[in-house]
Chain A
Amino acid sequence: MDSGATMHLAVSLFPGIADPSPEPGFSRLTGFVQKAEAAGLDMVLLADSAPASGGGAANSPMPFEATTLLAALATVTSRIGLVAAASTVAHQPYNLARRFASLDIIGHGRSGWNATMTQAPREAANFSRPEGFSPDDFRRRSEEYIGIVQGLWRGWDADALLFDQSGGRFHDPEKMHLLDHKGGFFSVRGPLNVARSPQDTPVLVLSDLSEADLDIAARTADVILLDDGPLDGTTERYDDIRRRVTGCGRDPDAVKVLTNVAPTANSKLAALADRLEKEFRARGCDGFNILMPAQLSALDDFVDLVLPELRQRGLFRENYRGTTLRSHLGLAGGGDR
């Protein structure tokens, strides 16, 4: 938990949108994200509609792939963090690292990559791997993949670009580093051809973790999303993750644990505030990821009714303290002053 005792709040946006609306898709999503930004939320998580993932058939599918949507949303917002899901099956690690590095420069240090540790059913069959991966291979491959992406994100030092026009030195060659990765699944020389992130590296959000993935997450993640569970188990679970993070030689506050919460249509909003307060004060997590129902208007209820309650109880900050996603999350490298 932060010493400031303020919780972190994210909202998740899913591919299916149930609201009947004549408004084009992107304007509606802009309205949603700008509302979340005006409310001061840490970040919006953009799910990616995996093929055959079984979204509600009644919903109209969102016509956008998540990383392209993130780029567009970055130009109509200025403070809120924007995190896109992107599959390790659908992208080569070099391409994915490059896409997110570029997104982070477009958004001035507000981007993050949400990697799922669970193989989407049937997905590999659309990427020339009809047999898919065994769970063990998928885990080892994911770990190697994440290491490559994070390594590529660090290929250029923050002060590598000189722009020395008269001296003819655009960058300092000593401050550009090859990755030279050779592993079981990939070999990648590097470096990226995108400059260093304004927030050091894009934020890595890991989700859909099994027990066996926890150590990988402890080594690599900035944010871990965990499913909701009985309250008395969450403190133990949170402590376990912090122990693992410390065991990897990292500061336990370098990883933020957020619990997924799905407000149901009939859940009393005051009860929701109570529930979030209880888990947070019991040191069960660092904050919450609110899984928005398919109706975009559900955000209005959360922002207008639950947030003021949380703020009144001193559980959520009034304003953004910095400009990068890392600064919102209280992570190092965020350029916080």
Chain B
Amino acid sequence: MTARQIKLGAFLWATGHHIAAWRHPKVHVTAGIDIDHYIQLARTAEAAKFDMIFCEDAAGLREANIGIASQTSRSIGFEPISLLSALAVQTSRIGLVSTASTSYNEPYGLARTFLSLDHLSGGRAGWNLVTSASPIEAANFGSTGLKPHADRYERAREFAEVVTGLWHGKASGHDGQSFSVRDPLDLPRSPQGAPVMVQAGASDVGRDLAARTADVVFTAAQTFEEAKAFYDDLKGRLAAYGREPDDIKIMPGVAPVVAETEAEAREKYEELQALIPDDVGVALLSSYLSISDLWRYPIDGPLPDPPESEGMKSRQALVIEQSRRDNLSIRQLARHFAGARGHWRIVGTAAQIADELQARFESGAADGFNVMPAYFPGELDAFATLVVPELQRRGLFRKEYEGRTLRDQLGLKQPVNCGAA
């Protein structure tokens, strides 16, 4: 039995997680139309022994203001199921996890699609369940408005139940509040028992759903205290569902900027920050806070009080807490959040970053980390060549993959077969 080790996700997004990544001189600016670029990123992550690639998703533009959207690289890109299906046959060990919405899909189709990805990859697929909080997405699906938070989660709970039932070969039909399904899936069972279930919702109802169904949980936590509180709370909820603490891997997002020296890392970060236009930063912040008229307020003044949000409840609370704590102006807060999107930013050397990750990992605030490189491919390469070897030297990260499936790499149990045909 080897010691507990850190799990790592390579979170691939557009030209990079920094909002101004696409303007960086070393970025691959055509990422959103270049499949070879993604194949290269996947191979880099696999060579570094990452547990998984993660693609988040939205079925629509990210930004309602077209002028703002046109100053970012996030309005176009690959649809993640097709992207991961392409990457599945160009890699052999790394997990392939994509977000998909319970609000704009049907469980039968989603279960079938992810199971197909699982077969293409030999048991390396995972589904990140989201309920979709954006009114921009809602407008692409005939909805006149976003459904209330509680309704979305009730639908998501039923959706997840149907999907896992289908994956486990449940033969009898389902006739519920939101969905009805008559037949079992027409594909063979998953090579890893069932695709891995991932969730990121951090609200109270989101945590309960995760405790009931998730194998992996992504989260945004800036401070150690937030991370530890979330970790303890979620692990504490598992017993109620007959699960053990190790049955869920909690992987907070981390947005590192790494270089050989701390001074170089700082310089690299400031170079990116300087590329953020003010209007873009403020727009991004206003969408997180659901304050549509944030631009009306003086940019060097404090944040106004936000309305009660039907969108991302937990993310919103995080931003507000930060602004009050550090007495930040709208501009300062916008820049600060634009870079890491509310996730944990560490700027420094490989040793400094490894120290921070190790501290959270060893004091029970994380089982691993979802790594959010500032720009691609440079910052993924930097993490792979600088931080990963440092973690390996400390015995905190694998040098070889444990097995063939994503469940093997994550050290997850085979899911229990709940009533096969």
**List of A residues within 8 angstroms of B71 by Cβ:** 168-170
B85-122 CB mask vs A (1 if < 8 Å, else 0) is 11011100000000000001110110011011101101
Q: Is the CB of B85 within 8 A of A189?
A: no
Q: A61 to B77: give the CA distance in the assembly, Å.
A: 32
- Interface residue A92 (Cβ < 8 Å from any Cβ of B): yes
- What is the size, in residues, of chain A's interface with B at 8 Å between Cβ atoms? 61
* Number of CB contacts from chain A to chain B under 8 A: 185
Q: Is the CB of B33 within 8 A of A102?
A: no
A274-303 CB mask vs B (1 if < 8 Å, else 0) is 000000000000000000000000000000
Q: A156 to B62: give the CA distance in the assembly, Å.
A: 16
Within 8 A of B (CB), among A75-107: 75-76, 90-92, 94-95, 98-99, 101-103, 105-106
Q: Is the CB of B116 within 8 A of A65?
A: yes
**List of A residues within 8 angstroms of B58 by Cβ:** 193
Question: Given A63-B187, A65-B113, A128-B179, do A92 and B72 touch, yes or no (CB 8 Å)?
Answer: no
Q: Is the CB of A72 within 8 A of B85?
A: yes
Question: Given A165-B23, A193-B77, do A122 and B141 touch, yes or no (CB 8 Å)?
Answer: no
State which of B24, B76, B120, B182 has its C-beta within 8 Å of the C-beta of A72.
Answer: B120
- Interface residue A163 (Cβ < 8 Å from any Cβ of B): yes
B171 to chain A, nearest CB (A): 13
Q: A74 to B85: give the CA distance in the assembly, Å.
A: 10
Q: Is the CB of A194 within 8 A of B81?
A: no
A97-134 CB mask vs B (1 if < 8 Å, else 0) is 01101110110000000000000001001111110000
Closest to A50 in B: B186
Question: Given A71-B86, A163-B30, A173-B70, do A122 and B183 touch, yes or no (CB 8 Å)?
Answer: yes
Q: Is the CB of A61 within 8 A of B187?
A: yes
Q: Is the CB of A90 within 8 A of B117?
A: no
Q: A95 to B62: give the CA distance in the assembly, Å.
A: 16
B71 to chain A, nearest CB (A): 5
Q: Is the CB of B70 within 8 A of A72?
A: no
B169-191 CB mask vs A (1 if < 8 Å, else 0) is 00000000011111101111000
- Interface residue A333 (Cβ < 8 Å from any Cβ of B): no
Q: Is the CB of B120 within 8 A of A68?
A: yes
- Interface residue A161 (Cβ < 8 Å from any Cβ of B): yes
Q: A99 to B100: give the CA distance in the assembly, Å.
A: 13
Q: Is the CB of A64 within 8 A of B33?
A: no
Q: A137 to B379: give the CA distance in the assembly, Å.
A: 52
Q: Is the CB of A90 within 8 A of B109?
A: yes
Question: Given A61-B187, A75-B90, A194-B76, do A99 and B82 touch, yes or no (CB 8 Å)?
Answer: yes
**List of A residues within 8 angstroms of B79 by Cβ:** 98-99, 101-102, 194
**List of A residues within 8 angstroms of B59 by Cβ:** 94-95, 98, 193
B148-185 CB mask vs A (1 if < 8 Å, else 0) is 00000000000000000000000000000011111101
- Interface residue B415 (Cβ < 8 Å from any Cβ of A): no
**List of A residues within 8 angstroms of B224 by Cβ:** none
B327 to chain A, nearest CB (A): 30
Q: Is the CB of A165 within 8 A of B81?
A: no
State which of A69, A173, A190, A194 has its C-beta within 8 Å of the C-beta of B116.
Answer: A69
Q: Is the CB of B33 within 8 A of A161?
A: yes
**List of B residues within 8 angstroms of A319 by Cβ:** none
**List of B residues within 8 angstroms of A69 by Cβ:** 85, 116, 120
A82 to chain B, nearest CB (A): 12
**List of A residues within 8 angstroms of B77 by Cβ:** 193-194
Q: Is the CB of A63 within 8 A of B82?
A: no
B15-53 CB mask vs A (1 if < 8 Å, else 0) is 000000011110001101101000100000000000000
B58 to chain A, nearest CB (A): 7
- Interface residue B140 (Cβ < 8 Å from any Cβ of A): yes
Q: A63 to B25: give the CA distance in the assembly, Å.
A: 43
- Interface residue A172 (Cβ < 8 Å from any Cβ of B): yes
26 contacts between A and B (CB under 8 A): A51-B183, A61-B186, A64-B116, A67-B81, A68-B85, A71-B83, A71-B86, A90-B108, A92-B105, A92-B141, A94-B60, A94-B104, A102-B78, A106-B82, A126-B106, A126-B183, A128-B178, A163-B29, A163-B30, A168-B71, A170-B70, A170-B73, A173-B67, A176-B66, A188-B141, A188-B142
Besides A76-B89, A126-B182, 7 other CB < 8 A contacts? A51-B183, A65-B113, A95-B59, A106-B86, A189-B140, A191-B61, A194-B79
- Which 8 pairs from chain A and chain B are nearest by CB? A71-B85, A102-B79, A65-B116, A189-B139, A68-B85, A63-B119, A125-B182, A126-B108
